[in-house]
Structure 1
Amino acid sequence: MPTSSESFVRIVGGHVTSAVVYNTPSIRIESFRRNVAGRVQWHFKQPELALFMYGRGARNLHGRMDGRPFDQTFDGKLALYPAGMEFDAEFRVTTNRSEYTAVFFDPAFVAERFPCSAAVPRLGFDCRMIALGLQELCGEAGSDDDIFAMMAEGWAIQTLAALRRLNETPADASHRGGLTPSNLRRIREFVEANLGKSIVLADLAALAGVSTRHFIRAFSESTGKTPHQYVIARRIDQAKCLLADDRHSLTDIALAIGFSHSQHFASAFKKHTGVCPSHFRAAMQ
């Protein structure tokens, strides 16, 4: 439905056939499918930084960007629209259906971590890390729990860092390094003690005494895994131990290791081990 105000405009042509929205403290994800034909009107202005990933349909965008004419062919499937920038334009499409996912970053989240890092529009670019991460995130989006929120926050930080890196020259690149042994030990001890609770990136970074963005990079260099991947792996290892005792139900195990429901636990367990929890338990008997 077309909507507009002084700071918000969203007028899009075509007919929506599917719309899904997921909210987290750091980002909001909106996925759409639209029936379209040839040319699609697009009048857009948001108070939030917006990243779009186009699945099919979008080939060219032309019109006015903050009143200035532009014409951009989409060589890649990603587009970054800065907060407050107005686009009054038209998409040229090559199919009768358009699919895209839009991610809107919480302004306070962006300002706190990456001030002025993503103020330049980028239309039709590619970044494998951003695209694959967003696809993985959308695959987890039905899980309304702390793990999904943690994944969303981690992806958002990595994406903002990648966007900033795209704007840097080689001389701008800062030195990279992992966590100190004492910090890594402190992080591991904290994770082990809190597997059944919500584990937030900001808390892990605070334990290491670094920014969240630096923590993600340093932790990955030290362990070969992102913080999210590490936490999930430890939860799965703990689940294997608990599954050896048939007095624990799958629901009890899921809750004990930080999953909000047994279905999400079963899905994560099978993804990491290749078998569902019940089959794993049966094989241990």
Structure 2
Amino acid sequence: MLFMSPRNHPPPPLSEPVRRIEAGPWAIELLPGCAYATRYVATQSAIGFAFDSQRGLHAIGSDRVLPFEALPNGLAFVPAGCDVLSESPRGGEYLRMVRTDGMALPAKHAFNNRIDPQAITLALRMRSALLRATAEDDWEAWALGLAERVKDHKRFSAHSQGSITAGRMRLLDEFIDAGLDGPLGVKEMAGLLGLSEGYFMRAFKQATGKSPHSYLIDRRLAKARALMRDSTARLTDIAHICGFNSQAHMTTLFKQRLGVSPAQLRGYSRP
């Protein structure tokens, strides 16, 4: 995804809600994956984290609107005063964090698509807590930790995708989404790109910060969450459609990855 931005499109009727929390000087929100279009001048510096692949158009600090294809698990930063235009027909889930007390954040220049293992760990932890709708977590420490990753971004070289380019990631996403109800695995994913399994696994981890197997689980969970927005779909049917061995298997992975069961998440998402 490009940078965190207030999505000033009303979400579609079946979208999950925006989840927000304030902790000390921090305002933190989890934006659901949905179509959006926004244009604004940032009044505050902000940190963002993209959980999903995303494609669309953007212009960041520029009047040139360009297409973008972003990889998942990317850390991003936009400074105060930066012009932002962004739109996507299917935006990915996104964590956005701003400091509300006027204190400057450590970075000065806009960036995105930074793959940082510590940022990934923190963002996943924060998402899980937001989905659980609890304020009894160490939010300020997590926010400070994520801000430190922004400060340290210069020690990362310019992001090199290697063999897993944004275009190849798009092919993988389409391939995975079309075959979630079947026996997908690393062999099939590597074969799609004409790469050996070993090379593919290393290149994928370098590009996204996660193993192909872990990413495949993420896609299954994302699909299940999308289907759960339809209150008529039974959890047993959703588990089958998304390639889980059983509803119990799906529930276990929901709790491990998201901190909530499917039934709990469905309840939290209802108006």
* TM-score under structure 2 length normalisation: 0.45
* TM-score under structure 1 length normalisation: 0.43
Q: Which has the higher strand share?
A: 1
**Higher relative contact order (Cα pairs below 8 Å, separated by 6+ residues):** 2
